[in-house]
C-alpha cells in the first residue's frame, strides 16, 4: 500500500498533503535524481525551492508558527513519497523538520522560511565516530568538539546540535557563527543530495538555546523521529526500485521472451513485494521510539535487499550510473548505516529486551 | 617487501589447507603457486592499494581515464604475460595460478586488477586454437615485457544480449544484432558490443559474432580483431558503479575486415568455445570476489586494531561474530574457486595442456609462426579439424560440463560472499570519518559487479543445476570435422 493510500484511510486533508508529496517526488524530483546524485547545486536548489514552496521543510511546525501543522505520521508518509523521487532530498526534509522540532516553537518560528537547517545528533549511542562535544559556561554555553559526518549539514543555513549528555540538549547554530566551521567531508555512498559535513566547534555559542529544563525534544525523541523517517525514506527507495525493476523486466528480452517470464527474475520481483508488505508504512500520529528503532532496521534491510535485486534484474545495464538503479542501491546502503549502523541497532534492541 | 594489512593476508598453505597434502605429490606446483602469490601480493601492495581510491575518483569524473603507467609497470613485472604459453615467451600459467594472482590483485584494488583479468579473458579463446595465433601472442608477451603493453579484451556482450550470449540455449533465441558476413579472403564484421572491459584500450580483441544471424548459436564464431582495423571505433566508455579503473566500452564494428587466418578455431565453434572459456574464467572471477571480500576484511581489521576511534569495538561479541562470519565466508569462497580451477586445469584440460604434441610445438622457433606459408597451413580447414580432433581425444564434454558446473558454483558463491562481506564490513565501520570508510564504500561498489559479469549469478546457478544436479552434458567440444559453404554458412 502506498503512502498516499495509507493517508487516505486517515483523513482527506492528510491524503491531500501526501498526494502533494507524491507529485513532488515523481514529477519534480525523480526526473532530476541523477543530477541530484551528481551533486549539481542547481538541481538541489531547484528541488529545495519546491520543497519549501509547499512547506514540507517545516511541516511539523504549527500553522501559527509558519508551518503546515502535520502530525509525525503524516510527515512520514510524505517522506516516503518524496523519497520515491530522491532519498537525499527526503532526508533533508526530515533533518529540517527534526531540527525545528528540537527547538521551542517561538525559536523555530524565528528561523527564516528561506533557510534550510539540519539536525545533527551528537554521538548517538554506541556509534563509532569521532564526535565529541563538550559544553562550558553558565549562561549560553559554548560548544567545543567535532561532529562528522553530519548528514545534510553541508550548505545548510544552520544546524541544531542535540546532545545526550550536555545541558541544555539542543543548540541552534547559524552558519557563520564564530567558532563554527562546516566543511565538506568524505561523501557517503548515497543520499548525495544530503551531503555530509565535518562540523568543528571551537567555543561556538548557540544563537538559540531552549530554556533550561524546557527543551521540547529530548535526544531520544529526536533520534526516534530520525529513525522513523529513515524507515519511511527506505520504503520510498524500495518502492522506486521495485517499480523500475518490474518495468525493465517487462521490456527486456532474453532467450526470446521478456525476462519477467524467467523464474529467476519473477522470484526476485516477488520477494520485493513480500518485503514491501512486511514493512508497512508507520503513520500513527505519535512516534514510539522502540518501534521506530525496529522498524528502521527492518525497512532499511528490506530496501537494501530490494534495491540490490533490482540492480540484478537490470544486469550489466543496472551497474551503469545512467540507469539510476544503482543509485537506489547506494541510497539504501547509506540508510542502513544512519543514524546508527544496523548491528548497533540490534544491540540496542537486544538490550531493551532485558537480560 | 610485503606489507600485509592487519597482518591477516594468508600464506598459500593457510589459504588452501589441501595443498599441504598436494605438496607431497607435486612439490613443483605448490612452489610455483607460492611464487605467483608472493609476486602478485607484492605488486598489489606496492602499486595498487595506494592509488586505488584516487584512480576510482578520476575514473568517476572521466570514465575514459586509464592509468597506463601502472599497466606498463605491471607488464614489466609479469602481470600481463603469465597466461600466455611458455612457447611464446609467456608464463605458461593455467587457471589455478591465474585465480591465485587475481585474489591477491583484487585485495589491493579490484578495478585495477580487472584490467589484468580482462586482458587474460581476451587471451583465453586463443589458447584453445593451438599455435594458430602464436605470432600475435608472442607480440603481446614481448610488448608487455618491454613495458609497452598491448592489451587484449574479449567482446561478447551486445546491447540487447547480455547473459544470453553465455548460454547455448538462450543464444539460439537471443536478440543478436551483430553479423560477420563472408567476403573474399575473410569476414566483414558489423555490429555493436557493449560493456567490454578493456575494450577501449585493447590493441587486440577476441570478438564473438554469428556468421548467420538467423542461427546465432550454430554459427557463433570467434575472430581476432586488430583494434587498428578500419571501421572499428570506441563509441563510449560507461560510467560504472564500481571497478571503474578498468573502462567498460561500447565498441562499434562497421564492416571491419578480418582475414581468414584471424578466425579463431572454425566457423560455428564459438558457442562451444564460450563454454570452455567460461569454465576457465569463472574460477578467477570467484577469486576476484574472494579478493574483494578479503580486501574489505583486512582493511576493517586494520582499522579496528589501529584507529583510536574504533577502540573497544573489537572486544564486542557482536563485532567478533561478524568478523568470524566474514573469515568463514572468505575461506569457503576460496576453496570453491580452487576446486573449480583444479577441476578445469587437471580434470578437464589436463590431457590437452600436458600433451607432448603441444609441448613439442614449443621447440619450433617463434619466428616460424609468423611466416605466411606456415600461418596459411595452420589455419587450413584440415589443420583446424585436426586440432578439434586433438581436443576431442584429450578431453570430453562430460569433463568440461562438470568443470563448468564447479566454475559457475565458485563464481556465484564468490559474488555473494563479496557483497555480504563488504556490506558487513561497511556496517561495522559505520559512518566513521576515518579513511577506511571510503575504502570500504569503494569495495562494496566493486563487489556488486561480481554478481553480474561472467553471467549473472542466476544464470550461473542454473548451470550448476544442469551440470551438477541434473548431470546434463553440454556440447562444449567442437565436432571433429566442420565445413562451411562459400557464404560462410556451416554445412
Digit-coded pLDDT (tens) for B146-179: 999 999 999 999 998 877 787 778 888 888 899 9
Q: Which of A128, A252, A261, A334 has the highest number of chain B CBs within 10 A, making it the mutation to test binding with B? A: A128
Chain B residues inside the 8 Å CB shell of A335: none
Q: Which residue of B has its CA nearest to A328?
A: B241
Chain B contact present for A337, CB below 8 A = yes
Average pLDDT on B212-222 reads 92
**Domain B152-270 adopts which CATH fold?**
Butyryl-CoA Dehydrogenase, subunit A; domain 2 (2.40.110)
Structure confidence at residue B124 (pLDDT):
94
Asked if CATH classification 3.40.50.1100 holds for the domain at A117-205, the reply, yes or no, is no
Q: Residue A342: closest CA among chain B residues belongs to which residue?
A: B427
Domain definitions of chain B by residue range: 5-151+272-469, 152-270
* Residue B9: per-residue pLDDT: 86
**Quick one: average pLDDT of B284-294?**
98
C-alpha distance from B452 to closest chain A C-alpha (Å): 6
Mean pLDDT of B286-312: 96
- The fold of B5-151+272-469 is Butyryl-CoA Dehydrogenase, subunit A; domain 3 (1.20.140)
Joined together, the cell numbers standing for residue A118 give 539540519
Contact map slice: A 130-149 vs B, CB within 8 A: 130, 148-149
Q: Could A128 and B429 be called an inter-chain contact, meaning their C-beta atoms sit closer than 8 Å?
A: yes
B283: pLDDT strictly greater than 60 = yes
**pLDDT score for A140:** 62
* Mean pLDDT rounded to a whole number for chain B: 91
Nearest neighbour of A337 by CB, restricted to B163, B431, B458: B431
- The answer to whether the Cβ–Cβ distance between B462 and A326 falls below 8 Å is no
Q: What pLDDT does A150 receive?
A: 92
B135-139 contacts at long range (C-beta below 8 A, 24 or more positions apart): B135/B369, B135/B370, B135/B375, B136/B204, B136/B224, B137/B84, B137/B85, B137/B88, B137/B90, B138/B88, B138/B89, B138/B366, B138/B369
- Long-range CB pairs of B375-380 (<8 Å, 24+ gap) are B375/B132, B375/B135, B375/B261, B376/B261, B378/B130, B378/B131, B378/B132, B378/B261, B379/B132, B379/B260, B379/B261, B379/B263
Query: If you search the block for the grid coordinates 548451470, which residue do you land on?
Result: B463
Q: What is the pLDDT of residues B55-64, one digit of tens each?
A: 999 999 999 9
Per domain, the residue ranges of chain A are 3-109, 117-205, 219-353
pLDDT tens per residue, range A151-172: 999 999 999 988 766 666 788 8
Task: Please tell me the predicted confidence (pLDDT) of residue A128.
Answer: 31
CB B253 within 8 A of CB B190: yes
Spans of chain A, pLDDT less than 50: 124-132
With beta carbons less than 8 A apart as the criterion, state whether B425 and B299 touch.
Answer: yes
In this predicted structure, which of A87-101, A170-184, B80-94, B344-358 has the lowest mean pLDDT?
Answer: B344-358
Report the DSSP pairing between strands B204-210 and B152-155. parallel
What architecture is domain A219-353? Up-down Bundle (1.20)
Secondary structure letter of residue B15 according to DSSP: H
Element (H, E) at B220: strand B220-226
Q: What is the pLDDT of residue A301?
A: 98
Q: Is residue B427 within 8 Å of B441, Cβ to Cβ?
A: no
- For residue B6, what pLDDT is reported? 46
> What's the topology of domain A3-109?
Butyryl-Coa Dehydrogenase, subunit A; domain 1 (1.10.540)
Q: Is the pLDDT of residue B266 over 70?
A: yes
Instruction: Compute the nearest-CA separation of B267 from chain A (Å).
Output: 22
B433 and A321 within 8 Å at the Cβ level: the answer is: no
Whether the complex's predicted ipTM surpasses the cut of 0.85: yes
User: Would you call B457 an interface residue with chain A, using a CB distance cutoff of 8 Å?
Assistant: yes
**Which residues in chain A (177-206) have CB-CB distances under 8 A to chain B?**
185-186, 188-189, 196, 198
Average pLDDT over residues B256-267: 94
A318 has a chain B CB within 8 A of its CB: yes
- Which of A124-138, B144-158, B239-253, B352-366 bottoms out in mean pLDDT, i.e. has the lowest? A124-138
Of A83-92, B427-436, B446-455, B480-489, give the lowest mean pLDDT range: B480-489
The owner of cell 567476403 is B183
pLDDT at B76 over 60: yes
Interface membership of B75 toward A (CB under 8 Å): no
Q: Do B445 and A189 touch (CB under 8 A)?
A: yes
A window 215-274, beta carbon within 8 A of B: 253-257, 262, 264-265
Beta-carbon separation of A315 and B433 below 8 A: no
* B385 Cβ neighbours under 8 A, 6+ residues apart: B266, B480, B481, B482
Highest mean pLDDT among B8-12, B43-47, B307-311, B370-374: B43-47
Give buried/exposed letters for B374-399 (b at 16+ CB in 10 A, else e): bbeebbeeeebbebbebbeebbbbeb
Amino acid at each position: 500500500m502506498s503512502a498516499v493510500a495509507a493517508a487516505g484511510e486517515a483523513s482527506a486533508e492528510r491524503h491531500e498533503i501526501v498526494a502533494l508529496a507524491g507529485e513532488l517526488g515523481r514529477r519534480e524530483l525523480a526526473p532530476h535524481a541523477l543530477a541530484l546524485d551528481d551533486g549539481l547545486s542547481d538541481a538541489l536548489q531547484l528541488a529545495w525551492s519546491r520543497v519549501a514552496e509547499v512547506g514540507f521543510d517545516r511541516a511539523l511546525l504549527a500553522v501559527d508558527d509558519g508551518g503546515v501543522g502535520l502530525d509525525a505520521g503524516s510527515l512520514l508518509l510524505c517522506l516516503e513519497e518524496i523519497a520515491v523521487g530522491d532519498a537525499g532530498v527526503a532526508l533533508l526534509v526530515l533533518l529540517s523538520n527534526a531540527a525545528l522540532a528540537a527547538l521551542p516553537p517561538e525559536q523555530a518560528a524565528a528561523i527564516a522560511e528561506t533557510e534550510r537547517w539540519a539536525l545533527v545528533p551528537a554521538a548517538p549511542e554506541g556509534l563509532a565516530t569521532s564526535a565529541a562535544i563538550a559544553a562550558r559556561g553558565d549562561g549560553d554555553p559554548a560548544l567545543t568538539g567535532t561532529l562528522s559526518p553530519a548528514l545534510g549539514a553541508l550548505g545548510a543555513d544552520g544546524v541544531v546540535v542535540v546532545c545526550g549528555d550536555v545541558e541544555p540538549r539542543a543548540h541552534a547554530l547559524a552558519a557563520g557563527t564564530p567558532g563554527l566551521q562546516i566543511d565538506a567531508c568524505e561523501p557517503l555512498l548515497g543520499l548525495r543530495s544530503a551531503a555530509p559535513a565535518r562540523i568543528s566547534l571551537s567555543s561556538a555559542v548557540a544563537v538559540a538555546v531552549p530554556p533550561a529544563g524546557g527543551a521540547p525534544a529530548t535526544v531520544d525523541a529526536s533520534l526516534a523521529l530520525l529513525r522513523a523517517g529513515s524507515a519511511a525514506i527506505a520504503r520510498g527507495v524500495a518502492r522506486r526500485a521495485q517499480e523500475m525493476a518490474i518495468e525493465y523486466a517487462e521490456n527486456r528480452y532474453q532467450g526470446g521472451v521478456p525476462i519477467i517470464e524467467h523464474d529467476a527474475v519473477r522470484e526476485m520481483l516477488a520477494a520485493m513485494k513480500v518485503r514491501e508488505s512486511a514493512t508497512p508504512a508507520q503513520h500513527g500520529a505519535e512516534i514510539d521510539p522502540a518501534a521506530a528503532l525496529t522498524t528502521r532496521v527492518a525497512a532499511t534491510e528490506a530496501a537494501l535487499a530490494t534495491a540490490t535485486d533490482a540492480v540484478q534484474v537490470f544486469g550489466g545495464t543496472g551497474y551503469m550510473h545512467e540507469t539510476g538503479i544503482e543509485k537506489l542501491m547506494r541510497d539504501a546502503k547509506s540508510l542502513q548505516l544512519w543514524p546508527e549502523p544496523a548491528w548497533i541497532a540490534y544491540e540496542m534492541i537486544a538490550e531493551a529486551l532485558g537480560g | 617487501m610485503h606489507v600485509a594489512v592487519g597482518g591477516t593476508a594468508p600464506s598459500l598453505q593457510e589459504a588452501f589447507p589441501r595443498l599441504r597434502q598436494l605438496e607431497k605429490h607435486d612439490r613443483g606446483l605448490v612452489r610455483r603457486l607460492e611464487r605467483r602469490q608472493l609476486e602478485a601480493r607484492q605488486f598489489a601492495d606496492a602499486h595498487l592499494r595506494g592509488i586505488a581510491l584516487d584512480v576510482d575518483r578520476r575514473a568517476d569524473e572521466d570514465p575514459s581515464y586509464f592509468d597506463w603507467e601502472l599497466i606498463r609497470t605491471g607488464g614489466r613485472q609479469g602481470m600481463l604475460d603469465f597466461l600466455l604459453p611458455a612457447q611464446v615467451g609467456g608464463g605458461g600459467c593455467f587457471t589455478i595460478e591465474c585465480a591465485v594472482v587475481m585474489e591477491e590483485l583484487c585485495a589491493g584494488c579490484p578495478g585495477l586488477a580487472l584490467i589484468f583479468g580482462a586482458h587474460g579473458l581476451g587471451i583465453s579463446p586463443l589458447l584453445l586454437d593451438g599455435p594458430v595465433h602464436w605470432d600475435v601472442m608472442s607480440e603481446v608477451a614481448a610488448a608487455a615485457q618491454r613495458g609497452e603493453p598491448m592489451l587484449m579484451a574479449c567482446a561478447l556482450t551486445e546491447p540487447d544480449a547480455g547473459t544470453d550470449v553465455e548460454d547455448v540455449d538462450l543464444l539460439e533465441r537471443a536478440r543478436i544484432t551483430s553479423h560477420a558476413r563472408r567476403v573474399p579472403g575473410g569476414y566483414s564484421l558489423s555490429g555493436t558490443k557493449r560493456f567490454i572491459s578493456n575494450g577501449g584500450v585493447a590493441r587486440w580483441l577476441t570478438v564473438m559474432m554469428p556468421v548467420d544471424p538467423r542461427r546465432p548459436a550454430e554459427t557463433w564464431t570467434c575472430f581476432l580483431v586488430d583494434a587498428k582495423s578500419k571501421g572499428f571505433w570506441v563509441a563510449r566508455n560507461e560510467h560504472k558503479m564500481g571497478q571503474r579503473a578498468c573502462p567498460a566500452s561500447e565498441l562499434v564494428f562497421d564492416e571491419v575486415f578480418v582475414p581468414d587466418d584471424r578466425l579463431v578455431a572454425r566457423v560455428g565453434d564459438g558457442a562451444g568455445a564460450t563454454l570452455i572459456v567460461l569454465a576457465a574464467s569463472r574460477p578467477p572471477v570467484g577469486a576476484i570476489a574472494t579478493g574483494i571480500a578479503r580486501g574489505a576484511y583486512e582493511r576493517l581489521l586494520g582499522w579496528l586494531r589501529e584507529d583510536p576511534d574504533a577502540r573497544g569495538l573489537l572486544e564486542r561479541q557482536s563485532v567478533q561474530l561478524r568478523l568470524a562470519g566474514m573469515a568463514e565466508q572468505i575461506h569457503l569462497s576460496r576453496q570453491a574457486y580452487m576446486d573449480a580451477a583444479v577441476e578445469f586445469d587437471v580434470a578437464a584440460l589436463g590431457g590437452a595442456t600436458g600433451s607432448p604434441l603441444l609441448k613439442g610445438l614449443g621447440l619450433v622457433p617463434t619466428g616460424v609462426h609468423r611466416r605466411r606459408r606456415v600461418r596459411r597451413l595452420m589455419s587450413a580447414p584440415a589443420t583446424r579439424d585436426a586440432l578439434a580432433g586433438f581436443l576431442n581425444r584429450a578431453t570430453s564434454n562430460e569433463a568440461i560440463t562438470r568443470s563448468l558446473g564447479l566454475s559457475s558454483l565458485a563464481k556465484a558463491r564468490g559474488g555473494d560472499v563479496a557483497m555480504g562481506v563488504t556490506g558487513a564490513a561497511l556496517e561495522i565501520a559505520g559512518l566513521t570519518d576515518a579513511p577506511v570508510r571510503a575504502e570500504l564504500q569503494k569495495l562494496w561498489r566493486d563487489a556488486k559487479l561480481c554478481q553480474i559479469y561472467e553471467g549473472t549469478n542466476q544464470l550461473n546457478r542454473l548451470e550448476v543445476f544442469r551440470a551438477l544436479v541434473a548431470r546434463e552434458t553440454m556440447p562444449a567440444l567442437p565436432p571433429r570435422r566442420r565445413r562451411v559453404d562459400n557464404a560462410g554458412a556451416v554445412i
